[in-house]
Amino acid sequence: AQETGVNQTVQYHEKLTEQIRHRTLIEVYLRSALKENQLSLQYQPQYELQTGALRGFEALMRWNHPDLGCIPPSDFIPVAEETRLILPIGQWALRQACETLQRLAPSPSTLTISVNISGIQLLDEQFPTQVSNALTASGLHAERLELELTESSLLDTLDIAERQLKSLQSLGVRLALDDFGRGFSSMNYLRKLPFHLIKIDKSFIHDIGNATEHEVTGSMIQFIKQMKYGIVAEGLETYEQLTYLRKLHCDFAQGYLFGKPLQDNQLSTLINPV
Ligand code: C2E
Ligand code: CA
Ligand code: CA
Ligand code: CA
């Protein structure tokens, strides 16, 4: 038994060393990813549930490294945040997303683009100016840009976050609270913040098929609706989930049932159906 314990400890340390090596490689390589054009955005369509109309897209970052291959955002976004590389990378994503939507769907199109914003970006004093500049440079109307923020990025520094969100609100962009339900925050404080929409975390959408859990999702949707927020469901994968969300008058949804994230050159058939 003791031998097994030693072996497990050795294995554990090997695994840990491997993880640290991987983490260090990511950090080193991430420093040059942007200027070497290894980052790109994919776009996942969002649909209006009552009409079936396309609402817009969520931009999701992709990193393809020549040696490491495709590294998922869950591996590199945390590293980008710890090293603050998320500031230049996030600014690039914001500009790229606005330009792509304006190029593929110029006004009078009202399709929206949702961009994920890290807490580090939100707290950066320059952030509202950068958003304003991205709008001016691309020509995109402010109300077509939606910024997605998570609760965890707001909690620590609520007063700064609140001030920054109000500056963004005054620019006319939409603000969405991402991954709703995953954290533990009370609605009392969220209501003080100028969010337009709430995105329900995909774990709650996946619970819809589950006899004992789906009522939690249902109550959550009714509660959010009573507070007059728009609702986006993410991670929609089955017709059963779709039927349920429609019945509850959830506004918008995205997920593999409707479509995976796509390259920008694959979007035009969705935007201009033949
Ligand atoms: P998120 O913002 O919650 O994004 C939704 C994730 O769910 C995406 O994973 C998307 O590809 C995936 N997804 C979409 N439809 C389905 C579905 O039907 N079922 C399931 N199981 N998953 C679905 P992805 O692209 O790997 O991104 C993971 C996370 O990385 C994002 O979660 C977001 O927190 C972060 N992220 C991605 N791009 C950016 C970015 O540009 N900036 C920042 N700060 N974070 C980003
Ligand atoms: Ca998101
Ligand atoms: Ca989410
Ligand atoms: Ca997330």
- What pLDDT is attached to residue 2? 63
- Nearest ligand 1 atom, CA 148: 2
Q: How far is the CA of 142 from the centre of ligand 1 (A)?
A: 23
Q: Which residues pair with 40 in a beta bridge?
A: 62
Nearest ligand to the CA of 73 is 1
- What pLDDT is attached to residue 22? 83
Q: Which two tokens stand for residue 24?
A: 């260090």
In this prediction the pTM is: 0.94
Using the 8-state DSSP alphabet, how is residue 150 labeled? E
Residue 239 vs residues 47, 242, 243, 256: alpha-carbon distances, Å: 14, 5, 6, 11
ipTM of model: 0.97
61 lines ligand 1 (CB under 6 A): yes
Cα–Cα distance for residue pair 201/123, rounded to 1 Å? 23
- What pLDDT is attached to residue 1? 55
Residues 6+ apart with CB under 8 A from 103: none
Q: How far is the CA of 206 from the centre of ligand 3 (A)?
A: 13
Q: How far is the CA of 152 from the centre of ligand 1 (A)?
A: 16
128 lines ligand 1 (CB under 6 A): no
54 lines ligand 1 (CB under 6 A): no
Chain-centre distance of CA 206, in angstroms? 18
Q: What are the pLDDT tens digits along the chain (274 aa)?
A: 566 777 888 888 888 788 888 888 899 999 999 999 999 999 999 999 999 999 999 999 999 999 889 999 999 999 999 999 999 999 999 999 999 999 999 999 999 999 999 999 999 999 999 999 999 999 999 999 999 999 888 877 888 999 999 999 999 999 999 999 888 777 777 888 999 999 999 999 999 988 778 888 999 999 999 999 999 999 999 999 999 999 999 999 999 999 999 999 999 999 998 7
Neighbouring CB atoms inside 10 A of 120's CB total 18
> What's the distance, Cα to Cα, between the start and end of the chain in Å?
68
73 lines ligand 1 (CB under 6 A): yes
Cα–Cα distance for residue pair 47/254, rounded to 1 Å? 6
Q: How far is the CA of 261 from the centre of ligand 3 (A)?
A: 14
Question: Any alpha helices (H) in the chain, and if so which ranges?
Answer: 2-33, 73-82, 86-104, 119-123, 127-138, 152-155, 158-171, 187-190, 202-206, 214-226, 239-247, 268-271
